Amino acid sequence: MKHTNGSIEVITGSMFCGKTDELIRRLRRATIARQKVQVFKPAIDIRYAVEKVSSHAGAEFAAMPIEVSREILAHLLDGVTVVAIDEAQFFDADVIAVTEELAEKGIRVIVAGLDQDFRSEPFGPMPALLAQAEEVSKLRAICMVCGGEASRTQRLVNGEPAHYDDPIVIVGADELYEARCRKHHVVPR
C-alpha cells in the first residue's frame, strides 16, 4: 500500500529533544509500510556522517547532503512517496516552496529542525514551515540546569552564554550547546 496523500509534517524543538530520532522513527515505519523514502540534509551538517542523518542518541538513516533546497527537486527519484528533510533551519527560504510543491504532488513531506536559534528567536524558514504544515510535533528536552522541561537551546562559549550579537550559525567552532528551560536560558546583550 502506497502513501498517496500529500502533506507536510514538522518535527521541531530545541537541541537534544529527539527531533532526528522521531524523524528516523517515522522513516522506518514508512519503510516497513513499503513506501519509497528519500532523505535530504544540509551539506554543512557533517557532525556525525556526511551521507546520513544521525541523532545524538546514535540512530542513523541514509541521506543525501545538498547545498540548496531546490536540489531536492533535481534529485527526487521516481516513485518516491515520502521525502524527509533534516536540519531544515539551515536551508534557504526556497525550502518552503519546495515542500509545498512536493506535497502538491501527493508526497508526504517530513521536516525536522530547530524552531528557535540560540537567542530564542525564530530560526530561518522554520516559522513558515510550521505555519504550512498539516501536523506539528514540538518536542522538549531536559533543562541541563534544573532538570525541568527545556524548550530552548543555550550556546556556551568558553563556558559562558553566547552574546546576542554572536553569529547565528558557526560551523566547527569550539562551543557547547545545552537544552535549557525559559528560566535558565540566558542571552547577554
Q: What is the pLDDT of residues 156-176, one digit of tens each?
A: 988 899 999 998 887 655 578
**Are the beta carbons of 35 and 172 closer than 8 angstroms?**
no
Rounded to 5, what percent of the chain is helix, strand, coil? 20, 30, 50
Q: What is the pTM of this model?
A: 0.91
**48 among annotated binding-site residues:** no
**164 among annotated binding-site residues:** no
- Whether 175 is catalytic is no
Among candidate residues 22, 51, 67, 87, the one labeled active-site is 87
**36 among annotated binding-site residues:** no
CA angle 175, 180, 184 (to 5 degrees): 105
Residue 58 Cα distances to 47, 130, 155, angstroms: 12, 26, 22
Domains of the chain, by residue range, sit at 7-139
**7-139 fold:** Rossmann fold (3.40.50)
Work out the burial of residue 4: count CB atoms within 10 Å of its CB; fewer than 13 is exposed, 13-18 middle, 19 or more buried.
Answer: exposed
**Are the beta carbons of 55 and 24 closer than 8 angstroms?**
yes
Q: What is the pLDDT of residues 51-107, one digit of tens each?
A: 777 777 777 888 999 999 999 999 999 999 999 999 999 999 999 999 999 999 999
